[in-house]
Homo-oligomer: A and B are copies of this chain.
Amino acid sequence: MTDQPAPLSFGFLVFPDIQQLDLTGPYEVVSVLDAPKTVHLVWHDLAPVRSTTGIVFTPTTTFADCPPLDVVCVPGGVGVNPLLGDAAVLAFLRRQAATARYVTSVCTGSLVLGAAGLLKGVKATSHWSARDLLAGFGAVPMPGRVVRDGRFVTAGGVTAGIDFGLAIIAELCGTEAAQACQLQLEYAPAPPFDAGTPETAPAGLVAKLRARGEAVRREREAFVAGWTDA
Q: Which residues of A contact B (CB under 8 A)?
A: 19-21, 24-25, 27-28, 31-32, 34, 39, 41, 53-58, 60, 107, 127-128, 145-146, 156-160, 162-163, 166-167, 170, 175-176, 178-180, 182-198, 200-202, 205-206, 208-209, 212
Nearest B-chain residue to A206, judged by Cβ = B183
Q: Which residues of B contact A180 (CB under 8 A)?
A: 195, 205, 208-209
A37 CA / B128 CA spacing, docked (Å) = 26
The answer to whether A185 touches B146, judged by C-beta atoms less than 8 angstroms apart, is: no
Interface centre among A128, A166, A176, A193 (most CB of B within 10 A): A193
A229 CA / B71 CA spacing, docked (Å) = 49
The answer to whether A183 touches B163, judged by C-beta atoms less than 8 angstroms apart, is: no
The answer to whether A128 touches B186, judged by C-beta atoms less than 8 angstroms apart, is: yes
Which 4 pairs between the two chains have the least Cβ-Cβ distance? Answer: A157-B186, A188-B196, A31-B53, A179-B195
Question: Given A178-B192, A182-B195: A28 and B206 within 8 A (CB)?
Answer: no
A128 CA / B193 CA spacing, docked (Å) = 23
How many of these chains are in the complex? Answer: 2
The answer to whether A192 touches B176, judged by C-beta atoms less than 8 angstroms apart, is: no
Q: Which residues of B contact A28 (CB under 8 A)?
A: 19-21, 24, 53, 158
Q: Which residues of B contact A32 (CB under 8 A)?
A: 53
Q: Which residues of B contact A24 (CB under 8 A)?
A: 20-21, 24-25, 28, 55
The answer to whether B205 touches A192, judged by C-beta atoms less than 8 angstroms apart, is: no
| 14 A-B pairs whose Cβ atoms sit less than 8 Å apart in the complex | A20-B28, A24-B24, A41-B55, A55-B57, A107-B186, A146-B190, A157-B184, A159-B162, A159-B186, A163-B191, A180-B205, A182-B193, A183-B201, A186-B197
A19 CA / B184 CA spacing, docked (Å) = 11
The answer to whether B189 touches A163, judged by C-beta atoms less than 8 angstroms apart, is: yes
Nearest B-chain residue to A189, judged by Cβ = B189
A160 CA / B192 CA spacing, docked (Å) = 11
Q: Which residues of B contact A34 (CB under 8 A)?
A: 212
Q: Which residues of B contact A27 (CB under 8 A)?
A: 20, 53, 55
The answer to whether A184 touches B160, judged by C-beta atoms less than 8 angstroms apart, is: no
A184 CA / B21 CA spacing, docked (Å) = 12
